Structure 1
Amino acid sequence: MQNDKVKILFLHGLGQNKEAFDKTIENINFKDIENIDLIPNNSKDLTFFDLVDMLENKIKGIKKPVIICGISLGAILAMKLYFRNPQKIASLILIAPQYKIPKMLMNFQNLIFKIMPEKFFKKTKISKNNMFSIASSIKNLDYRKK
């Protein structure tokens, strides 16, 4: 595929922001790249499905086929976008995806999130409420059925 015929979207993981891909993007010779900050710090309590809807609206507005590169949360978002819009997605680059979320581990992580002080979350540039809300909303995710 010629690089002017597709767009690349980069999707970071939970606890990260778009800066996670800065060094990668600096080293790519590609014309049409968008590095998305998935979770604005001032946003309401978002869920995984809010993020999917936001990204789905974004890719529907793109006239070219889309390559999505996602890490962790970004990877599972990329898979969901592909399941909903296979005609729009040229390819996926998935880094550390979870096709099935381990519930016990996620419940433990959410317990830790609840007791952690807000100041820890400021370093991630994602509010504690958003971190908890998104993590809680993916605990039943299971792509084995796809």
Structure 2
Amino acid sequence: MTVVFVHGLGQQAASWDKTKEALSGSADIFTPDLWELSAGSEVTYDHLYDVFSDYCQSLSGKVHLCGLSLGGVLALHYGLEHPEKAASLTLIATQYQMPKTLLKCQNIFFRLLPGKLFEQMGLTKKEVIGLTRSMMDLNFKQRLSEINVPVAVVCGEKDTANKKAAAELARLIPHAELSMVPRAGHEVNEAAPQQLAALLDGFILRRAQVSLNRSAAR
């Protein structure tokens, strides 16, 4: 079983370390660094999706994708474009239709911050602003009914900016499961790694067993 963890904006691959440590069972776990994948090219959403898609396609067999925020958007996009490759999706604090007003306000705020604060992201301030600007027109709402793989929608109980979108994702995606993580904010993988790992164990491992049973029955 192959699991790919996809970090959010402002995070790095290491943001999943505590979650990985708390997982039970055996799996081939991959945590790509999005900024390393896109290094050397203009940081736009389209380019980021292309290199992420190529990365997933290079892995053997089907993949269970688990993404947070920007990582969740990439996982959702990939699941829509490659249903034959995605085994399941876990979408944490994920928007399916970009909130333009929020992104514009966020970019205004980013412009006021010193450039050094962005260095820990692995991007420059200009790249972060350019990336968020390139995402403004993303809207997957009309395609959510196409998803035919198991989906877990996850949101921190205190993540007020994404709770509504989480509920809508769970409603619009066939057979999706919604889980709220108590006392957690936006970055569930860092704030509540053990709770998230327990949720993933229950969701991914259960789905993997269903797939094995189906294969054995053929």
Global fold match (TM > 0.5): yes
Please name the residue that 1:64 is paired with.
61
C-alpha contact (below 8 Å) 1:15/1:131 kept by paired residues: no
**Secondary structure in structure 1 of the residue aligned to 2:35:** coil
User: How far apart in 1 are the matches of 2:39 and 2:61?
Assistant: 31
Structure 1 stretches (4+) deviating beyond 4 angstroms? Answer: none
1:143 is aligned, of 128, 133, 140, to 140
C-alpha contact (below 8 Å) 1:10/1:34 kept by paired residues: yes
Please name the residue that 1:39 is paired with.
35
Shift of 1:111: 1.6
Shift of 1:133: 1.7
TM-score (norm 2): 0.61
C-alpha contact (below 8 Å) 1:44/1:130 kept by paired residues: no
1:84 is aligned, of 66, 69, 81, to 81
Structure 2 residue runs without a partner (length 5+): 144-218
Q: When you count helix as a share of all residues, which structure comes out higher? A: 2
User: How far apart in 2 are the matches of 1:42 and 1:65?
Assistant: 26
The share of aligned pairs that are identical, in percent, is 33
Q: 1:111 to 1:12 in 2, by over 3 A?
A: same
Higher RCO, 1 vs 2 (CA within 8 Å, ≥6 residues apart): 1
The question of 1:26 aligning with 2:21 is answered yes
TM-score (norm 1): 0.89
- Cα root mean square deviation, aligned: 1.6
User: How do residues 67-146 of structure 1 correspond to structure 2 at under 5 angstroms?
Assistant: 67-146=64-143
Aligned length: 141
Shift of 1:125: 2.8
**Which of structures 1 and 2 has the bigger CA Rg?**
2
